[in-house]
């Protein structure tokens, strides 16, 4: 977010580095009196100026993007975020909001020497309401914590992605993250009922509504979701919770082509209707890459296939495994599926790490999969 596209104090002198086609001028020094004013807003401990301490905020895990920043601010409240934005706008200083720094396209990286505003300290769950099935949490709450807190009250917060142990609710909404359950629950946009946002001039837009049937006026919330911080900084969100499924079953399927995968999707939607929660297509390269470079990862199918599908069924009754078996049997009968294994997680909890599978790139097996009933004999996975 920026109060002024080009900070007036920024110079373009010095060497420039290009990474992923982004020309990066060296970070300019921030006037010391301004640093002092920002420091006063968040407190000394939460204004980071040492370049060694700044490093984790300006690089990302793959080292595809590397930015520069003279200052990282770590506010602990909406009021502090508002004060930072107001000051930044008054002085034409550009800000880059950052959550868990897991974004894959460099939106959270200060490419042009912006001040980073890290939201990770704002990690309180303000309210869980099982009557309205909502959870109101601050932007810096880690996705996995939100999932766990929902599970503790027997509810599901369905957003799930490989980065869930590090990414934040603010980042998920700002990127409108999709994840592995988008098929059943939609993308992040569809999981938020209301937002609290700080605008560039420091005004706070409080839209933390729990109301599902809200048909009033403009839908400002949707302007900020997917905006990657360009229109404001999300400080809190009211999220939808869902009933927790009693049974979750996963299958790994080998097939010949994306066209066959679409046929299997169609069978799955017909047979399992609303229980199909994930359906992810993987190429053989992706599986090969995981098996070759991942730790303790094996392909559960004994022979290679050009394409794979990782699919998950959830149910409020104990019938997900039977439904999955029926879908795969039909797929085998119609020569759509070449081979498949079911994890039967609820029956064989040690079978595999569902988390690993959910990262879309890894499939981890520690014990043999449950056989599925089909007219074609299934090869058991062997270690």
Which of residues 172, 238, 250, 260 is near ligand FAD by CB under 6 A?
A: 172
Interacting span for ligand FAD (CB under 6 A) from 32-40, 64-72, 92-100, 319-327: 92-100
The yes or no reply on residue 178 touching ligand FAD (CB under 6 A) is: yes
Q: What angle do CA 289, 291, 296 make, to 5 degrees?
A: 140
Task: Give the per-residue contact string, 116-155, with ligand FAD (x = CB under 6 A; - = no).
Answer: ---x-------------------x----------------
Burial class (CB in 10 A: 0-12, 13-18, 19+), 15: exposed
Least CB distance to ligand FAD at residue 265 (A): 17
Q: Residue 46 gets which letter from DSSP?
A: G
CB 350 within 8 A of CB 366: yes
Interacting span for ligand FAD (CB under 6 A) from 100-108, 128-136, 211-219, 365-373: 100-108
Tell me how far apart the alpha carbons of residues 93 and 112 are, in angstroms, rounded to a whole number.
Answer: 11
Interacting span for ligand FAD (CB under 6 A) from 49-57, 215-223, 228-236, 257-265: 228-236
* Sign of the CA dihedral with 156 first, then 272, 322, and 252 last: negative
Burial class (CB in 10 A: 0-12, 13-18, 19+), 251: buried
Interacting span for ligand FAD (CB under 6 A) from 3-11, 101-109, 129-137, 267-275: 101-109
Q: Report the site for ligand FAD in 330-359 (rule: CB under 6 A).
A: 359
Least CB distance to ligand FAD at residue 142 (A): 8
The yes or no reply on residue 115 touching ligand FAD (CB under 6 A) is: no
Q: What angle do CA 192, 2, 108 make, to 5 degrees?
A: 60
Tell me how far apart the alpha carbons of residues 57 and 73 are, in angstroms, rounded to a whole number.
Answer: 11
Q: Residue 41 gets which letter from DSSP?
A: H
The yes or no reply on residue 179 touching ligand FAD (CB under 6 A) is: yes
CB 239 within 8 A of CB 191: yes
Which of residues 7, 70, 75, 99 is near ligand FAD by CB under 6 A?
A: 99
The yes or no reply on residue 233 touching ligand FAD (CB under 6 A) is: yes
| Number of other residues whose CB lies within 10 A of the CB of residue 205 | 17
Tell me how far apart the alpha carbons of residues 103 and 108 are, in angstroms, rounded to a whole number.
Answer: 7
The yes or no reply on residue 97 touching ligand FAD (CB under 6 A) is: yes
The yes or no reply on residue 168 touching ligand FAD (CB under 6 A) is: yes
Which residue of this chain has its Cβ atom nearest to ligand FAD in the complex?
171
List interacting residues with ligand FAD (CB under 6 A). Answer: 96-104, 107-108, 119, 139, 161-163, 167-168, 170-172, 174-175, 177-179, 228-229, 233-234, 359
């Amino acid at each position: 977010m920026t109060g002024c596209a080009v900070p007036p104090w920024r110079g373009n002198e010095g060497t420039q580095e290009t990474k992923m086609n982004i020309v990066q001028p060296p970070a300019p020094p921030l006037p010391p009196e301004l640093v002092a004013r920002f420091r006063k807003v968040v407190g000394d401990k939460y204004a980071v100026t040492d370049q060694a301490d700044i490093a984790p905020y300006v690089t990302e895990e793959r080292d595809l993007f590397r930015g520069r920043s003279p200052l990282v601010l770590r506010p602990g409240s909406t009021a502090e975020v508002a004060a930072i934005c107001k000051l930044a706008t008054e002085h034409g200083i550009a800000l880059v909001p950052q959550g868990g720094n897991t974004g894959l396209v460099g939106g959270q990286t200060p490419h042009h020497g912006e001040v980073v505003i890290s939201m990770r300290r704002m990690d309180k769950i303000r309210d869980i309401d099982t009557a309205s099935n909502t959870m109101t949490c601050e932007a810096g709450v880690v996705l996995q914590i939100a999932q766990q807190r929902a599970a503790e009250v027997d509810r599901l917060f369905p957003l799930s992605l490989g980065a869930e142990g590090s990414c934040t609710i603010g980042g998920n909404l700002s990127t409108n993250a999709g994840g592995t359950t988008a098929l059943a629950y939609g993308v992040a946009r569809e999981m938020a009922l209301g937002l609290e946002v700080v605008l560039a001039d420091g005004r706070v837009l409080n839209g933390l509504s729990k109301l599902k049937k809200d048909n009033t006026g403009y839908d400002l919330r949707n302007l900020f979701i997917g905006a990657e911080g360009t229109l404001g900084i999300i400080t809190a969100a009211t999220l939808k919770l869902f009933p927790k499924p009693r049974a979750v079953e996963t299958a790994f399927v080998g097939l010949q082509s994306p066209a066959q995968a679409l046929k299997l999707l169609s069978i799955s939607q017909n047979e399992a209707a609303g229980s199909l929660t994930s359906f992810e297509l993987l190429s053989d390269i992706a599986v090969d890459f995981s098996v070759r470079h991942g730790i303790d990862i094996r392909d559960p199918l004994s022979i290679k296939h050009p394409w794979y599908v990782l699919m998950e069924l959830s149910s409020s009754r104990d019938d997900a495994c039977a439904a999955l078996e029926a879908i795969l049997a039909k797929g085998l009968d119609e020569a759509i599926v070449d081979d498949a294994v079911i994890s039967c997680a609820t029956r064989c909890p040690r079978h595999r790490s569902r988390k690993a599978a959910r990262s879309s790139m890894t499939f981890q097996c520690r014990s043999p999969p449950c056989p599925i009933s089909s007219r074609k004999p299934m090869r058991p996975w062997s270690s």
